[in-house]
């Protein structure tokens, strides 16, 4: 499976770019705090999709897809915390939450599809 052809992986990469753009103006004293955490959670999404696609068993693949999904929920929570701390405007918060929600839908669809495939090992 060529993960780089998957819409969910492409959406994950796009989300990373948006998160980096969004966090570049966060307070400098947060560079090793929430800024780094938000970025790591975002990067985790396409990274785990790719790693899952490189695994030899369906069980392993699904485990990495579930990790990617968990990272989306983590990212969503962190974005809301950033909004609470007034690092983000309501408009920016709503926009990125919408992107995260779209990515979750794609990933859930991919997980559901993958679960229907004939098991490997």
| pLDDT tens readout for residues 78-108 | 999 999 999 999 999 999 999 999 999 999 9
What is the span of the domain harbouring residue 56?
3-116
For residue 39, give the nearest of 66, 67, 71 by alpha carbon. Answer: 71
Instruction: Tell whether the model's pLDDT for residue 11 goes beyond 80.
Output: yes
Question: Could you tell me if residue 27 is inside a domain?
Answer: yes
Dihedral sign (CA 31, 97, 13, 9)? positive
Stated pTM of the model: 0.93
The per-residue pLDDT for range 18-40, each reduced to its tens digit, is 999 999 999 999 999 999 999 99
Residues 6+ apart with CB under 8 A from 7: 106
For residue 42, give the nearest of 106, 116, 102, 100 by alpha carbon. Answer: 100
Distance CA 31, CA 23 (A): 9
Question: Could you tell me if residue 55 is inside a domain?
Answer: yes
Cα separation values, 78 from 4, 42, 45, 83, Å:
27, 10, 14, 9
Mean pLDDT of the 42-56 span:
95
DSSP reduced 3-state for 119? coil
Question: Could you tell me if residue 44 is inside a domain?
Answer: yes
Question: Could you tell me if residue 53 is inside a domain?
Answer: yes
Question: In the prediction, which pLDDT does 14 show?
Answer: 98
């Amino acid at each position: 499976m060529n993960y780089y052809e998957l819409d969910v992986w492409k959406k994950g990469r796009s989300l990373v770019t948006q998160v980096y753009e969004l966090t570049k103006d966060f307070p400098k004293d947060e560079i090793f705090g929430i800024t780094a955490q938000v970025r790591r959670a975002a990067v985790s999404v396409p990274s785990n999709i790719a790693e899952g696609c490189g695994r030899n068993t369906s069980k392993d693949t699904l485990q990495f897809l579930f990790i990617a999904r968990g990272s989306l929920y983590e990212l969503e929570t962190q974005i809301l915390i950033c909004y609470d701390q007034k690092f983000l405007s309501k408009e920016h918060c709503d926009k990125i939450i919408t992107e995260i929600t779209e990515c979750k839908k794609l990933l859930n669809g991919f997980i559901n599809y993958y679960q229907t495939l004939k098991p490997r090992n």
